[in-house]
Structure 1
Amino acid sequence: MRTLYTIGFIAMTLCTSLPARAGDLGAYGPTFEIIETDLLRDILSKLRKAESDGRIDDLNRKFADATRKRVENPPPVPGIVTTVKARTWLYDPSIVVPETLADDKGRVFARKGERINPLERLPTYNKVLVFIDGRDTRQVEFAVNQSRKFGQDRTVLILVNGSPMGTMRARKQVFYFDQLGTLTTKFGITQVPATVSKEGLVLRVREVGL
């Protein structure tokens, strides 16, 4: 963002430093009135036409089918492979508060520049995140064994590939999916199976070899 501001400032500086000259530049072609289409109005118009044509039910079915397929088989998280070489590291979840924050009554609970570690404020946090490729039977077994070891209420099973719904039905327990690779990117995970668990005031990340 700072780069954009810098470029904008330079551009404004250059523009204001140039001498202003007024004059008749002549006609270079026909001019037309700019007409902007109201996007929402355009969408509603198309929906009304589809309804009047009797196609709205068909569109609803196609939308529902597309949504169902995406839920059943989300796009795999790119760049994740089966663990070749096991490794482990620590992840510090601390953040620097970008601006002073207050509640609806004006009471400040975080000041700008303050470094906050969420684990200090959540002393009872004990979740174990388990990342797997749902297409690999060995990894699914590993995840289920982890949930038996730590308890289903404590273990969060997360797929990076495969069908979370299908795996859930087959194993009779909850599986999530790392949409857009948000969590694996945050923790730097590139191999699965992998686990993330609390270790003091940091998180221990492990890419496990089976």
Structure 2
Amino acid sequence: MPRAATLAATLLIASAGVSASDAVLDGIDAIVEQAQRIEKQAEQAPYPAWLEGAPLTPAQREGVESIARDAARIEGSARTGDAAEMLGVDPAGEASGAASTASGYRVEILVSWALGEEALREIAAEVSSYPNAVMIFRGIPEGQRFRDAIKRLHALLAGLDPVPAVTIDPPRFERLGTDEVPAIAVYAGGEPIAQARGTYGIRHMLARVRAGARGDLGAIGPTVTATEPNLIEVLKQRLASLDLTASQQRAAERYWGKLRYLELPQATEPRSRRFDPSLMVTADIKNARGNVIAPAGSRINPLDLMPFHERLLVFDASRPEQVALARELAARYRDRRLVLIASGLDRAAGWDGFKQMQDGFRAPVYLLNEPIRARFHIERVPALIDAEGRDIVVREIPPPAGE
């Protein structure tokens, strides 16, 4: 999940005294979205209501549930560089000194199990040293179950503190135009400015970038070909094998229309609010090693545990004027990652309308849930949410008059 959502999860963890968090699903691809049309609310109910009216065969149902479970776990970490959700690690146990890498760059290292566990362990240790770096797989080894792949990865990362950021994100391989690993890319402002193959040395790569190196720097050392199949293609093939009928697809669309949104009033005037997110710990919070880092009865500020480098933009996607303002704000605020969250959606436009709107932002759009709304004190939209020092700041921005 994005670090914005992880911060909210940390707030919830602190108040509940547990070391688990709910995934916020985003939809990395239309294929994954299709799977979630059928079982989007898997965490809230065993089956969506529409299954009663258009039942699947037992084999189809198991296939749908399996895809939805895999998609949920993958999407909880994909595109975010957050290993906590993927590995089941308590976010409160992550490093308290998280900060940007040298010069504020973001670093991605493409990897594969074909490199061997010893090399992957070295890369993981390198990534662990840089909170703004992430190691990326294209998928899971062919023939291996997702849960087994995660257990294997968990064992690989055991003992590393902080836990390095790990994602499964096939489009990153496509964006850099390579299936050779290791490959390293340095990003600035969301765009890759330099990349190289055959190396994973972050310090060396950043030094070259600071010295003016740009573009594809070629092969610096030996590489191997990533052997994992593209996970999106795997999900696509699995979904195609289900042979869903047109009536079931229509039932899925009706299910979309029944989804409940947290509809919030539109901001009518600019307003800024600041609050301290500190909470009373109701039960001991432990890190991944089992050490108590916050005893019951103490007060903690989640921002001390996990600096909040993102910015949240919450808006009502069913109102064109708010969507237009959200696009303007997304273009304006490029100094940090902007997480888009919709408090409402256009039911009439359905899934196709949602995907079209999301494609317009060229970024995932998340659905606002009650824990996020409550923890960030969201009252009106559009709203920008930032961290300033040890406080959370919520700024309500009304759309221009006449829109």
**Which residue, 263, 286, 291 being the options, matches 1:102?**
286
Q: CA deviation at 1:118?
A: 1.2
**Which residue, 72, 76, 87 being the options, matches 2:261?**
76
Structure 2: unaligned runs, 5 residues or longer: 1-51, 59-241, 347-353
SS at 1:145 equivalent: helix
**How far apart in 2 are the matches of 1:178 and 1:121?**
24
SS at 1:148 equivalent: helix
Tell me what 2:342 maps to: 159
> What amino acid maps onto 1:165 in structure 2?
K
**How far apart in 2 are the matches of 1:62 and 1:155?**
38
Q: CA deviation at 1:122?
A: 2.1
Taking a change above 3 Å as real, the CA distance of residues 101 and 175 of structure 1, as seen in their structure-2 partners, is closer
SS at 1:209 equivalent: coil
Tell me what 2:305 maps to: 121
**How far apart in 1 are the matches of 2:281 and 2:392?**
20
Q: CA deviation at 1:113?
A: 1.0
> Would you say 1:189 and 2:378 are equivalent positions?
yes
The CA deviation string for residues 85-114 of structure 1, in whole angstroms up to 9 with x for no partner, is 332111222121112233465422221111
> Would you say 1:88 and 2:277 are equivalent positions?
no
What is the TM-score of this pair, normalised by structure 2? 0.34
> Would you say 1:172 and 2:357 are equivalent positions?
no
**How far apart in 2 are the matches of 1:152 and 1:72?**
36
Contact preservation (8 Å) 2:309, 2:336? no
**How far apart in 1 are the matches of 2:361 and 2:297?**
46
Contact preservation (8 Å) 1:74, 1:161? no
Contact preservation (8 Å) 2:268, 2:398? yes
Taking a change above 3 Å as real, the CA distance of residues 203 and 105 of structure 1, as seen in their structure-2 partners, is closer
Identity %: 24
**How far apart in 2 are the matches of 1:182 and 1:103?**
23
Taking a change above 3 Å as real, the CA distance of residues 98 and 50 of structure 1, as seen in their structure-2 partners, is closer
Contact preservation (8 Å) 1:130, 1:194? yes
**How far apart in 2 are the matches of 1:59 and 1:91?**
48
Tell me what 1:148 maps to: 331
Taking a change above 3 Å as real, the CA distance of residues 153 and 192 of structure 1, as seen in their structure-2 partners, is same
Contact preservation (8 Å) 1:127, 1:155? yes
SS at 2:371 equivalent: helix
SS at 1:82 equivalent: coil
> Would you say 1:130 and 2:313 are equivalent positions?
yes
Q: CA deviation at 1:68?
A: 5.0
**How far apart in 1 are the matches of 2:244 and 2:342?**
30
> What amino acid maps onto 1:167 in structure 2?
M
**How far apart in 1 are the matches of 2:324 and 2:258?**
20
Taking a change above 3 Å as real, the CA distance of residues 62 and 146 of structure 1, as seen in their structure-2 partners, is same
Contact preservation (8 Å) 2:270, 2:398? yes
The CA deviation string for residues 53-76 of structure 1, in whole angstroms up to 9 with x for no partner, is xxxx99987666544554588423
**How far apart in 1 are the matches of 2:356 and 2:285?**
42
Taking a change above 3 Å as real, the CA distance of residues 59 and 109 of structure 1, as seen in their structure-2 partners, is same
The CA deviation string for residues 151-209 of structure 1, in whole angstroms up to 9 with x for no partner, is 39610111111144341134433211113x33223333222111110111111011112
The count of residues paired between Structure 1 and Structure 2 equals: 158
Contact preservation (8 Å) 1:73, 1:162? no
RMSD after superposition? 3.6
The CA deviation string for residues 118-176 of structure 1, in whole angstroms up to 9 with x for no partner, is 111223x2211111111222211222222223339610111111144341134433211
What is the TM-score of this pair, normalised by structure 1? 0.60
**How far apart in 1 are the matches of 2:252 and 2:379?**
28
Contact preservation (8 Å) 2:282, 2:297? yes
Tell me what 2:155 maps to: none
SS at 1:192 equivalent: coil
**How far apart in 1 are the matches of 2:277 and 2:386?**
12
Query: Which structure's relative contact order is higher, taking Cα pairs within 8 Å and 6+ residues apart?
Result: 1
**How far apart in 1 are the matches of 2:344 and 2:56?**
36
